[in-house]
Each structure stands twice: as C-alpha cells, then as structure tokens.
C-alpha cells in the first residue's frame, strides 16, 4: 500500500478536528469522498489555477478554458471515490482535465485569442514597455501554435513542459507508451519550430 493511499484511508477514519484548510490533499479527498462539499471546495481552491492553465493551453482562450476547468472539477467530484491515492491529486486532476479537453477539442476547432492581445502586460512596469510588448507577442504566438498542434502532441507538450510530468506519467494519462510520448514530444517541438518559423 502506498503512502498516499494509506493517508487516504486514514482520512476516512480520522475525526475532522483541524480546519479544512489545514488538511493535506489526501485528507481532504477522504473527507470530500464522504460527501463534504466544503472539503471539495478547498481542493478546488488549491488546484483551480493549474487545472485552468492546462485547459487554457489546450484552447488558448479564457472562456473555453474556464468552462473546461469547471467540467473537469465536476467530473473529479463525481469520481472522487475512485481516486485511490496511487498518484498525487494534482496528477489525477491533470488526467481528468486533459481528457475533458481532448474530448471537447476533438469535437470542435478551438477558438483563438488574437495574437496581439494586450490584456496581460503586467510586466510593463518592470521591463521596458517595448521589450514587454515583444515578449508578450511572442508568447501569444507560441500559445497559438501550441493550440494548433494535434491533440496527443499538444497534451504531451503541455504536461511535460508546464506541469513537469514524467514520460511515464504522461503515458498513463494518455493511455500510451513512454516511446509514444517521446515521439509525440519530438513531433510537437518540431511542428512548433515549423509553425513559429513561418509565422511572424
């Protein structure tokens, strides 16, 4: 029995004496799995940003990303009793988010935010305005290029680059082999290089 699953089992038996915000993820999962909505609210609060970011990388726009992230959390709530604690909760949530995104994205072409979006230039006060603008334009171009990659390549690139998941973990999430993950990562980078090389 893994350490995580042992904690999860303990959490079932433990009386909740600490505030929910002080419980770790495994303990919160145990409490939430008994139907405690407040415990799940705390989990949402802890992981909403990263789940949203996974979704955003897939669709490259805020509206769809927030819808997908919401859907991922609803599915997580419904499947909470199936979470055995074999992996970190964040990994499990990524898996759900990626599956939600793959299902949704394959059903329709992702909408894109304009490359010259200037909504997110918080660094303007720190860096020179011109430098920050160029950097933001480049980031927007990269995000757009990533969102245009084939599904598996995109998922692999996102999980490996931004969420530091191992090849094996990504293989588990995508239901493929480590070799396939490496191949997808290679093709993702190659395609990204081509797209960014041809676009201004």
Contact residues for another protein, defined by CB under 8 A? 37, 40-41, 44-45, 48-49, 52-53, 56-57, 62, 66, 69-71, 73-74, 77-78, 117, 119-120, 122, 135, 138-140, 142-143, 146, 157, 161-162, 179, 182-183, 185-187, 189-190, 192-193, 196
Instruction: Name which of 22 and 45 has its Cβ closer to another protein.
Output: 45
> Rounded to the nearest whole angstrom, what is the least distance from the CB of residue 85 to another protein in the complex?
21
The distance in angstroms from the start CA to the end CA of the chain is 53
Distances (CA, A) of 27 to 6, 49, 112, 122: 10, 20, 39, 36
> Rounded to the nearest whole angstrom, what is the least distance from the CB of residue 13 to another protein in the complex?
25
Instruction: Name which of 4 and 156 has its Cβ closer to another protein.
Output: 156
Q: Which residues contact 183 (CB under 8 A, 6 or more apart)?
A: none
Instruction: Name which of 95 and 167 has its Cβ closer to another protein.
Output: 167
Burial state string for 118-157 with b = 16 or more CB within 10 A and e = fewer than 16: eeeeeeeeeeeeeebbeebeeebbebbbbbebebbbbbbb
Instruction: Name which of 11 and 192 has its Cβ closer to another protein.
Output: 192
């Amino acid at each position: 029995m893994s350490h995580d699953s042992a904690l999860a089992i303990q959490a079932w038996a433990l009386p909740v004496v600490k505030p929910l915000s002080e419980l770790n993820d495994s303990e919160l999962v145990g409490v939430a799995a008994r139907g405690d909505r407040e415990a799940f609210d705390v989990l949402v609060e802890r992981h909403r940003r990263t789940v949203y970011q996974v979704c955003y990388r897939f669709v490259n726009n805020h509206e769809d990303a927030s819808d997908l992230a919401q859907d991922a959390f609803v599915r997580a709530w419904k499947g909470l009793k199936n979470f055995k604690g074999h992996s970190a909760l964040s990994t499990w949530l990524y898996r759900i988010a990626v599956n939600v995104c793959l299902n949704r994205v394959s059903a329709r072409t992702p909408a894109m935010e304009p490359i010259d979006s200037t909504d997110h230039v918080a660094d303007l006060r720190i860096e020179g305005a011109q430098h920050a603008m160029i950097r933001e334009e480049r980031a927007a171009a990269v995000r757009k290029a990533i969102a245009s990659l084939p599904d598996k390549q995109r998922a692999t690139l996102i999980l490996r680059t931004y969420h530091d998941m191992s090849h094996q973990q990504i293989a588990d999430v995508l239901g493929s082999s480590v070799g396939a993950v490496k191949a997808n990562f290679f093709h993702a980078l190659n395609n990204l290089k081509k797209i960014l090389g041809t676009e201004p």
